[in-house]
């Protein structure tokens, strides 16, 4: 495996070298970097032209400029990284760090959400092929996949930001609105779940009643402006998540794994009570990171203690349950600060920019501000990616479910959970792994339209500004980040192949 990895790294380095040369030549020949100055009427036009010519070294041969750029990139390995300067004399390394940080904030959350939701929906639609649920998800996937990104972004800004900000000032649903929402929810859920006519009617009636009661209660409590979740809510949702994870990974008949998950939920909730004063009064990113690592270690330890003959499964179950419980704790604290956040920022959902200028809130209000800034572009990228992931997963799962080894597993008496999770899903992941790897690398450099619509200064803006100015330094910095990301993700995909299918290791 080590030889394979080293061989791939060497080949990838050669590919990056050749591609960088091609991109550099194409960029410097894509236009005239002095065009704006030639058309200018300022008195010192010639002086400005001479300054830019000297700054970009336009009188030097292109291969000398490329070689100097390559030497600057090589200095990154010794701590003397030099990516050049822009036409305005701004250091490209600093711009790249800011742009990469902004883009990673945007695409990481969106990609992770798209992977989890898309693969889950793909598995469910494959299991329930040609059902109402399958048809509903298939229609939605094609709808979201075919939506023009700029148009969907405009709709999100109008209805999920502007109209929501107008509504949250009062924070109450009108009775007619509640009835309409309940009817729509009842119709959609009964169509998705399917079944006989009687079952559909019962489902619709139950959903209608639940939505009506919930929304009226939320109105009475002013929940939308002063939400509450509480320690009891954290415990209930954590226990439900633990049972769900156990049923998927080990099966609820595996009592050791189930008890380990329930213990993890209880310990996590009790720990929340113990650390609540620290989290509320003295929060910091370092503290959150440390507590998150501690939560994972304790959760895995609980799984090892309860595991017995199913130790590995129990550790996996408790590890996932611990992560979910930790996220629930953070969500509960954020919900508790929503009211104070509205007091500082009365229109919470932002439509442009990656941060609110001169925001004066405390730590948790700042976290909410960052979350509301990233919300709309994340939703947009997630919807587009979920559509493709769900389709690829469904196709791969259907192909795998028709294989002989799946039929053999069922004939041996394995439970449907074991057949789906251990046999079909693991083999179906191999082509999906390739898609995920290249999709993540592509989104890092390809969210140009999304960044433009929402005013994010990320890698897409860096590339576009450099190309418009015929400035090779920002374009090459863009290529460097996205190219390395593509190589690394491709390498991770190859390693994942070997982990998923032992035959590939040979």
User: Where do the domains of the chain lie?
Assistant: 1-168+364-506, 172-221, 228-345
DSSP assignment letter at 423: I
pLDDT at position 176: 94
Sequence-distant (6+) residues with CB within 8 A of 359 are 344, 345, 365, 366, 369
Highest-scoring range by mean pLDDT, 17-31, 183-197, 346-360, 425-439? 17-31
Mean pLDDT of the 427-436 span: 81
Convert the pLDDT of each residue in 168-183 to its tens digit: 998 899 999 999 999 9
On the question of pLDDT at 335 being above 90, the answer is yes
Mean pLDDT of the 189-209 span: 86
Nearest residue to 437 via CA among 477, 391, 481, 494: 494
Q: What are the phi and psi torsion angles at 167 (to 5°)?
A: -75, -40
pLDDT at position 332: 94
Q: Which H or E run contains 134?
A: helix 132-146
Mean pLDDT of the 88-97 span: 86
What tokens appear for 446 in the block?
A: 């390809």
Sequence-distant (6+) residues with CB within 8 A of 411 are none
What tokens appear for 12 in the block?
A: 């990838």
Q: Which of 154-158, 393-397, 414-418 has the lowest mean pLDDT?
A: 414-418
Mean pLDDT of the 439-463 span: 77
DSSP assignment letter at 156: I
What tokens appear for 306 in the block?
A: 């309860």
Q: pTM, whole model, 2 decimals?
A: 0.82
On the question of pLDDT at 423 being above 70, the answer is yes
Proportion of the chain in helix, strand, coil states, percent, rounded to 5: 80, 0, 20
Mean pLDDT of the 487-503 span: 74
- pLDDT: is 495 or 68 the higher one? 68
On the question of pLDDT at 446 being above 60, the answer is no
Nearest residue to 204 via CA among 220, 224, 223, 184: 184
Q: Which of 30-39, 228-237, 281-290, 389-398 has the lowest mean pLDDT?
A: 30-39
CA torsion through residues 380, 385, 388, 390, sign: negative
Using CA atoms, how far residue 404 sits from 93, 400, 426, 467, in Å, is: 54, 9, 15, 53
Place of tokens 């830019």: 52
On the question of pLDDT at 315 being above 90, the answer is yes
Alpha helix positions (H), 282-356: 285-307, 311-336, 338-344
What tokens appear for 248 in the block?
A: 């998927």
Q: How confident is the model at residue 506 (pLDDT cuts 50, 70, 90)?
A: low
Cβ atoms of 123 and 426 within 8 Å: the answer is no
Mean pLDDT of the 136-153 span: 85
On the question of pLDDT at 5 being above 80, the answer is no
Place of tokens 């439509």: 351
Q: Spelled out in words, what is the top-level CATH class assigned to the domain 1-168+364-506? A: mainly alpha
Mean pLDDT of the 108-129 span: 88
pLDDT at position 287: 93
pLDDT at position 49: 87
């Amino acid at each position: 495996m080590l030889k394979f990895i080293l061989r791939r790294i060497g080949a990838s380095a050669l590919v990056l070298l050749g591609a960088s040369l091609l991109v550099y030549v194409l960029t410097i020949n894509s236009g005239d970097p002095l065009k704006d100055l030639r058309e200018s009427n300022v008195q010192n036009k010639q002086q400005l032209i001479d300054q830019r010519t000297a700054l970009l070294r336009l009188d030097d041969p292109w291969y000398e400029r490329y070689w100097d750029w390559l030497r600057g990139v090589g200095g990154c390995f010794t701590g003397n990284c030099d990516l050049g300067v822009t036409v305005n004399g701004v250091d490209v390394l600093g711009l790249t760090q800011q742009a990469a940080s902004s883009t990673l904030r945007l695409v990481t959350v969106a990609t992770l959400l798209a992977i989890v939701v898309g693969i889950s929906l793909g598995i469910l639609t494959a299991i329930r092929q040609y059902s109402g649920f399958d048809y509903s998800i298939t229609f939605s996937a094609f709808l979201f996949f075919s939506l023009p990104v700029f148009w969907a972004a405009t709709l999100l800004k109008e209805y999920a930001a502007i109209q929501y900000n107008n509504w949250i000032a009062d924070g109450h649903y009108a009775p007619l609105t509640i009835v309409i929402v309940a009817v729509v929810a009842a119709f959609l859920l009964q169509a998705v779940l399917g079944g006989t006519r009687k079952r559909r009617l019962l489902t619709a009636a139950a959903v209608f009643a639940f939505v009506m009661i919930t929304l009226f209660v939320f109105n009475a409590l002013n929940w939308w402006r002063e939400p509450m979740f509480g320690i009891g809510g954290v415990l209930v949702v954590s226990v439900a998540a633990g049972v769900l994870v156990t049923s998927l990974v080990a099966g609820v008949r595996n009592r050791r794994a189930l008890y380990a998950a329930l213990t993890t939920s209880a310990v996590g909730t009790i720990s929340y009570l113990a650390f609540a004063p620290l989290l509320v009064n003295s929060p910091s990113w370092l503290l959150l990171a440390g507590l998150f690592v501690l939560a994972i270690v304790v959760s895995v330890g609980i799984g090892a203690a309860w595991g017995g003959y199913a130790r590995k499964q129990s550790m996996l179950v408790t590890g996932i349950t611990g992560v979910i419980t930790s996220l629930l704790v953070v969500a509960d604290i954020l919900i508790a600060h929503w009211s104070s956040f509205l007091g500082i920022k009365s229109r919470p959902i932002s439509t442009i920019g990656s941060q609110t200028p001169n925001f004066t809130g405390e730590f948790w209000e700042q976290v909410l501000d960052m979350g509301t800034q990233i919300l709309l572009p994340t939703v947009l990228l997630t919807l587009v990616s979920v559509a493709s992931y769900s389709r690829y997963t469904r196709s791969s799962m259907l192909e795998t479910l028709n294989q002989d080894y799946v039929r053999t597993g069922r004939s041996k008496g394995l439970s449907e959970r074991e057949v789906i999770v251990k046999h079909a899903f693991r083999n179906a992941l191999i082509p999906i792994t390739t898609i995920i790897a290249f999709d993540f690398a592509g989104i890092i450099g390809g969210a140009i339209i999304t960044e433009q619509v929402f005013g994010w200064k990320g890698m897409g803006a860096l590339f576009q500004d450099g190309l418009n100015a015929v400035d090779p330094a920002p374009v090459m910095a863009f290529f460097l980040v996205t190219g390395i990301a593509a190589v690394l993700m491709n390498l991770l995909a190859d390693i994942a192949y070997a982990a998923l299918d032992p035959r590939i290791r040979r």
